[in-house]
Amino acid sequence: MKITVITGSPRRNGTSNYLADEFIRGAEENGHKIFRFDSAHSNVNNCIACNACTMGSKPCIHKDDFVELREHLLEADVIAFVTPIYYFEMTSTIKKVIDRFYSIDTILREKQNKAVLISVQHSSVSEVKDILNNNYNAILNWLNIENVGIVNAIGIESVEHLKQTDYPKQAYELGKGL
């Protein structure tokens, strides 16, 4: 399978990228092909709602890093979203990428992809993740994408702390099990 991984953290060696690495390690061991897109280190413009794309039949007016990502989204069997929680939500850079899905909205809905979500939060309050998960499920529902797994890492202080938890194994097994 082809898996397109979209990460949301600006911290290359942070906690969510550690889980992204573990997810990818598992998926690659199972023979899957990965394309990774680090949204916080990419040049992706905001959707300006010009509607030139007509939600799929015409190209987006922006000529930026989404042009390459677009091809990997259209080829993907699974899209993996990996993000820290910022103010109860995914980071703005990953959301900006999802807003640009508007230009392939119709195509994605016909494709019937699968998706996974991996998140990290500092708070140990389990409910903090609920808005993110609800939003993820709503986006998937709209785009006719099936959720095939969620790992919410909760109460994470640092990468060293994360390594002492079960979450890296969960991310690895999520990738391996696809």
Ligand X SMILES: Cc1cc2nc3c(=O)[nH]c(=O)nc-3n(C[C@H](O)[C@H](O)[C@H](O)COP(=O)(O)O)c2cc1C
Instruction: Report the interface residues with ligand X, using CB under 6 A.
Output: 9, 11, 14-17, 84-88, 120-123, 128, 156
- CB under 8 A, 24+ apart: contacts of 44-52: 44/69, 44/93, 44/96, 44/97, 44/100, 45/100, 46/96, 46/99, 47/96, 47/99, 47/100, 47/102, 47/103
Nearer to ligand X, 122 or 176 (CB): 122
Task: Write down the least CB distance from residue 111 to ligand X, Å.
Answer: 29
Nearer to ligand X, 40 or 104 (CB): 40
Task: Write down the least CB distance from residue 132 to ligand X, Å.
Answer: 9
Nearer to ligand X, 91 or 113 (CB): 91
Nearer to ligand X, 3 or 118 (CB): 118
| Token pair belonging to 105 | 């909205």
Distance, in Å, from the CA atom of 45 to the CA atom of 25, rounded to the nearest integer, reads: 30
Residue facing ligand X at closest CB distance: 14
Task: Write down the least CB distance from residue 75 to ligand X, Å.
Answer: 26
Rg (CA), the chain: 16
Report the relative pairing of strands 114-120 and 2-7 from DSSP bridges.
unpaired
Task: Write down the least CB distance from residue 159 to ligand X, Å.
Answer: 7
